Amino acid sequence: SPFFAIPVTTQGSQTQQLQKHYGITSPISLAAPKEFDCMLTQKLIETLKPYGVFEEEEELQRRILILGKLNNLVKEWIREISESKNLPQSVIENVGGKIFTFGSYRLGVHTKGADIDALCVAPRHVERSDFFTSFYEKLKQQEEVKDLRAVEEAFVPVIKLCFDGIEIDILFARLALQTIPEDLDLRDDSLLKNLDIRCIRSLNGCRVTDEILHLVPNIDNFRLTLRAIKLWAKRHNIYSNILGFLGGVSWAMLVARTCQLYPNAIASTLVHKFFLVFSKWEWPNPVLLKQPEECNLNLPVWDPRVNPSDRYHLMPIITPAYPQQNSTYNVSVSTRMVMVEEFKQGLAITDEILLSKAEWSKLFEAPNFFQKYKHYIVLLASAPTEKQRLEWVGLVESKIRILVGNLEKNEFITLAHVNPQSFPAPKENPDKEEYRTMWVIGLVFKKTENSENLSVDLTYDIQSFTDTVYRQAINSKMFEMDMKIAARHVKRKQLHQLLPNHVLQKKKKRGFIRSSPAPAVTAASVTNIQASEVTVPQINSSESSGGTSNESIPQTATQPAISPPPKPTISRIVSSAYLLNPSPRTSGNVATKMPSPVTAVKRTSSPHKEESPKKMKIEEDEISEDTSCIDLNEHEKMETKVSMPRPCNFKTPSTDLSDIPALPANPIPVIKNSIKLRLNR
């Protein structure tokens, strides 16, 4: 329900109305800023400046000019289309058409050199096909336009271009209106009626951004706080929607919720309160900026009472515009654990800043990810050309969260933390054209009793991930023979052999375990393992923290608290793989296992007659007789099993890959590899 706020006038912002709706609960505090808060906010601004988070006025004016040109092009194009379709002259004169912006530029928090997210809104007689043909051609003719490309088949179709040095992504929405008025408010839900789903998706970005700006009590304070939080998240390697952390819109909604709870506070206070609120938040209670409204347009919305799959979301942050969606569905147990830990550390540092025991610069110090963990997985993607590398890296990166999910389900792993930053990797063969990118994943193993030397087998977790990637690449006809994924376990002290100089200032080392596409799989043994639950302890709200212990964080009252789902029994299979055109090095793969909170994917193929069943997972140092062992690195006690290639008649592909056409019928060598490491206690 709305609450009554004291009217406050702030610099360069709107005067607060006497009656204003600031979210779904009452505020925690209406306290106005003190002189000390103003001084701390000024210090925060000075600290942010060197990081390039503020754009120069000249650059800002250039963006406005470019968007003006683009807007005129849209109007001109829509008039031309209207004339070609013989609309009455009176309609043509007022037909309109407009470029709207969304994302960080619209929120007013874009950094130097950032791209612009834009939406082209057209009246009903302009088709989507017109946008991707005649408007595309019109853009092509502009001398300022470079790198023009259309991605018409994307989930949200887009034209990408560089306009006078500024990267712009343009989406398209065709509204059921005869003309597009200049003062059109895209937040109007009735605009969505009878629209194509691609138009609804395209409108969503603008509608969400506009709602956020209308739901914060003071836009200037919101913007400065959000700039600080986004920089902090990037510096701490937790800014990435695709890898299971939070993207820009999610960080914006968390900051907006903080502003609602402290409507009169300024940025220095809001940054501190942000960490206070979200270090104590009882996930998976959702973060909502407004009460969800039902529009009777029958679009799917986030609602755990109706949709069972929504109950498994670990950190729901719900977009405020209809149809409401969870912007954080990629978050996993590990990424949430990492973020909550960062919130707590942020709270401790801002407590110190408020007590004048530390400077703002401490908050933005980048922690050393490569000192944080004892064990790491290094994942490498390579392709023969730069163009293929970009495609391949995009696909691999979009699937890394599946690997993280697989690793989380391993009963000996507590945490798998992927660093969102990727690194260039050295060529394996200097004479061969090859483009390589790598990612690093930090691992925390569970402390177990009565085991001095514990062997943990990661073969299944890694190979099922690589199979997923290869399968998608083959199905989407993107796959080229020399596109490869390699994975390797390393200890902290060995990272200097693998990472580029600008990260660790040491030489790099080569030699990876390769995986190649596997069209068929033989299951050597199936063992049920009860996946052990990773519990994140709830913070007691009475814990003392810089004099803030008496503040209780209001959770969402309207949604029932969602209890975490029961942990399923996971069927794990150690298997060998049949390889298509394997490289001379050791390689192998198994069928896909998609991380699901409910079930794990089982293998359907039966054991190969030549294979003897292998014991499962965590044997103390046992190696089957039919494999020869190559020790990659004795001091890290990591083993790779390689069975020598044997001919095998490949008759039927596994059911997992039955949709792949024309698999070869010639003999294919069998190569088995396993990634096994022994933890010395």
Catalytic status, residue 461: no
d(CA 413, CA 410): 6
The reply to whether 273 sits in an annotated binding site is no
The reply to whether 105 sits in an annotated binding site is no
d(CA 362, CA 669): 55
Residue 608 phi, psi (nearest 5): -70, 145
Catalytic status, residue 130: no
The reply to whether 116 sits in an annotated binding site is yes
Tokens of 313: 């979301």
The reply to whether 248 sits in an annotated binding site is yes
The reply to whether 166 sits in an annotated binding site is no
The reply to whether 225 sits in an annotated binding site is no
Catalytic status, residue 230: yes
Catalytic status, residue 190: no
The reply to whether 163 sits in an annotated binding site is no
Which distant-in-sequence residues (6+ apart) come within 8 Å of 674 by Cβ?
457, 459, 574, 588, 639, 640, 641
d(CA 675, CA 489): 8
d(CA 124, CA 512): 55
Tokens of 294: 């039902």
| Among 399, 388, 605, CA closest to 518 | 605
* Catalytically annotated residue among 82, 98, 105, 117: 117
* Catalytically annotated residue among 69, 134, 160, 169: 169
d(CA 120, CA 171): 6
Catalytic status, residue 169: yes
Tokens of 542: 């009475």
The reply to whether 103 sits in an annotated binding site is yes
DSSP string, 561-610: PPPPPPPPEEEEEEEEEE-SS--SS-B---------SS-PPPP-SPPPTT
Between vectors from CA 249 to CA 245 and to CA 250, what angle results, nearest 5°? 45
Residue 84 CB burial class (10 angstroms; 0-12, 13-18, ≥19): exposed
Catalytic status, residue 164: no
d(CA 85, CA 465): 51
CB 605 within 8 A of CB 523: yes
CB 209 within 8 A of CB 103: yes
The reply to whether 130 sits in an annotated binding site is no
* Catalytically annotated residue among 104, 332, 605, 624: 104
Residue indicated by tokens 């029932």:
560
The reply to whether 117 sits in an annotated binding site is yes
Residue 372 phi, psi (nearest 5): -75, -35
Residue 347 CB burial class (10 angstroms; 0-12, 13-18, ≥19): buried
* Catalytically annotated residue among 115, 164, 189, 220: 115
* Alpha-carbon separation of residue 188 from 210, 322, 323, 454, 614 (angstroms): 11, 10, 12, 60, 61
Largest CA distance in the chain: 86
DSSP type of residue 203? H
DSSP H helical segments within 217-332, as ranges?
A: 219-235, 248-261, 267-280
* Catalytically annotated residue among 130, 202, 230, 310: 230
Which residues carry a binding-site annotation? 102-104, 111, 115-117, 169, 230, 239, 248-249
Return binding residues for Mg(2+). Answer: 115, 117, 169
Residues annotated as catalytic are 104, 115, 117, 169, 230, 239
Q: Annotated binding site for ATP: which residue ranges?
A: 102-104, 111, 115-117, 169, 230, 239, 248-249
